[in-house]
Amino acid sequence: MTSIHDLANPGVQKLTPYAPGKPLDELEREYGITDAVKLASNENPLGPSPRAQAAIAQAMTELHRYPDGNSFEIKQALSAKLGLEQNQITLGNGSNDILELIARTFVMPGEEVVFSAHAFAVYPIVTQAVNGVMKIAPANPAGHAMPYGHDLAAMLAQITDKTRVIFVANPNNPTGTWLPKDELYSFIKNVPENIIVVVDEAYFEYVEEGEYPDASQWLGEFKNLVVTRTFSKIYGIPAVRIGYGMSHPDLADLLNRVRQPFNVNAAAQAAAVAALSDDEYVAKSLETNKQGMAQLIGACEEMDLGYIPSVGNFICIDVASNTGVDTGAVYEGLLHEGVIVRPVANYQLPSYLRITIGTQQENQRFIDGLKKVLAK
Ligand SMILES: *Cc1c(COP(=O)(O)O)cnc(C)c1O
């Protein structure tokens, strides 16, 4: 008898599903802990913007209606904020939805998708799901100024006449590494214009480096460019799922053809409009992140642990190389201390754990927990 597994398309048969951060409830249930902290999913530690919460409460009075399938209000707000036409914006159920729409729109079985080693886990998933072939470029070496970051020359070298899409994460998750303006611009210029270049800017709002580019500025020049952003990170509403793509209108038109008619729910649309206007919340989030990043880096230096310099709201810390302790044991030990972080062995970074920057108190819980676990 045929196994069900064998009936799946070959890409799906080989696919490893996305492993999310462990939910707080699950840890508390399994370990009998009541005051656990989660620093595992790059969530905003401040809780949601009060404006977004109020907007959702209002949206709930219309639960019996389908959402606006064209997401008019949030498109209008984004278009004003970004200086783009509404027909350049594609809304998604999280920006992961946009990444998937791109693969479904442009990649046929056997065609190739290029991305870097240590790049965001959703790129292999959306590629394999459409039977695309993954071409993984080697990343920068450990000793590089941007260790484990994208090597754009190596990515260009992966291009063949079968390449359809290239995913660039700027900054990348889980490494937190980033690409400066000149390098990224000349990379895109060097990519043949029949290949779609996706610049994933999920952490755009966190980055303060002067040379960090806003790739959406180049949309007028490159018809093959899609820039994605999300409301899940600094805007603090990952629970409702909303993100967006920015592109030439013709490319947006293609994505719109394969998009589910109501892929962005009403609560998400309302919350996003409110979150987008909450400058105070965004500024406070940025400040909290800056202080928390300094706190965690200080702890790494005090404990003589390596880390990957990051411009996101997370940092990968090498808990194993200088301590001789097994990374998995440190992760488990932290769980027992009520601290959830993210193992990144699946990203070929086996000695690291990725820590999301939390509040001052949450970061301290992590630091104290780590000291305790490493002292055992
Ligand atoms: C978090 C993240 C996303 C976005 O996730 P959504 O919640 O689906 O918007 C996209 N890319 C990277 C690199 C991320 O880390």
The string of pLDDT tens digits covering residues 186-218 is 999 999 999 999 999 999 999 999 999 999 999
Answer yes or no: is the C-beta of 238 below 6 A from any ligand 1 atom: yes
**pLDDT for the residue 1:** 66
- Give the β-pairing of 112-116 and 339-340: unpaired
C-beta atoms surrounding 327 within 10 Å = 20
Cβ–ligand 1 distance for 230 under 6 Å, the answer yes
Cα end-to-end span (Å), the chain: 52
- Report CA(201)–ligand 1 centroid distance (Å): 8
Ligand 1 midpoint to CA 204 (Å):
11
Whether 96 lines ligand 1, by a CB cut-off of 6 Å, is yes
**Ligand 1 atom at minimal distance to the Cα of residue 172:** 13
Q: Is 202 in the pocket of ligand 1 (CB under 6 A)?
A: yes
Q: Atom 1 in ligand 1: which residue has the minimum CA distance? A: 202
Q: Report helix angle 327-336 to 360-375, nearest 10.
A: 120
Question: Mind listing the domains of the chain with CATH numbers?
Answer: 7-38+280-375 (3.90.1150.10), 50-276 (3.40.640.10)
Query: Which helix (H) or strand (E) segment is 124 a member of?
Result: helix 122-129
Which residues lie across from 115 on neighbouring strands? Answer: 136
- Ligand 1 atom closest to Cα of 99? 10
Pocket-testing residue among 99, 116, 198, 232, ligand 1, by greatest number of atoms within 8 A of Cβ: 232
Q: Distance from the CA of 96 to the center of ligand 1, in angstroms?
A: 6
Pocket test for ligand 1, best of 173, 229, 314 (most atoms within 8 A of CB): 173
Separation of 282 CA from ligand 1 center, angstroms? 17
Outline where 147-278 has alpha helix (H): 152-157, 181-190, 249-258, 266-276
174 preceded by a cis bond (ω within 30 of 0): yes
b/e burial code for range 108-139 (CB count within 10 A of at least 16 → b):
eeebbbbbbbbbbbbbbbbbbbbbbbebbbeb
Instruction: Provide the pLDDT for residue 356.
Output: 98
Measured from the Cα of 93, ligand 1's closest atom is 8
Cα 42 to ligand 1 centre (Å): 9
d(CA 356, CA 316): 9
Nearest CA to 123 among 108, 138, 135, 111? 135
Pocket probe for ligand 1: among 115, 122, 170, the residue whose CB has the most ligand atoms within 8 Å is 122
pLDDT for position 61: 96
Can you give the pLDDT of all 376 residues of the chain as single tens digits? 689 999 999 999 999 889 888 899 999 999 988 899 999 999 999 999 999 999 999 999 999 999 999 999 999 999 999 999 999 999 999 999 999 999 999 999 999 999 999 999 999 999 999 999 999 999 999 999 999 999 999 999 999 999 999 999 999 999 999 999 999 999 999 999 999 999 999 999 999 999 999 999 999 999 999 999 999 999 999 999 999 999 999 999 999 999 999 999 999 999 999 999 999 999 999 999 999 999 999 999 999 999 999 999 999 999 999 999 999 999 999 999 999 999 999 999 999 999 999 999 999 999 999 999 999 8
Q: What spacing in Å lies between the alpha carbon of 258 and ligand 1's midpoint?
A: 20
Q: What are the φ and ψ backbone dihedral angles of 198, each rounded to 5 degrees?
A: -105, 120
Give the closest residue (by CA) to ligand 1 atom 11.
202
Question: CA 365: distance to chain centroid?
Answer: 24
Q: Is the CB of 128 under 6 A from ligand 1?
A: no
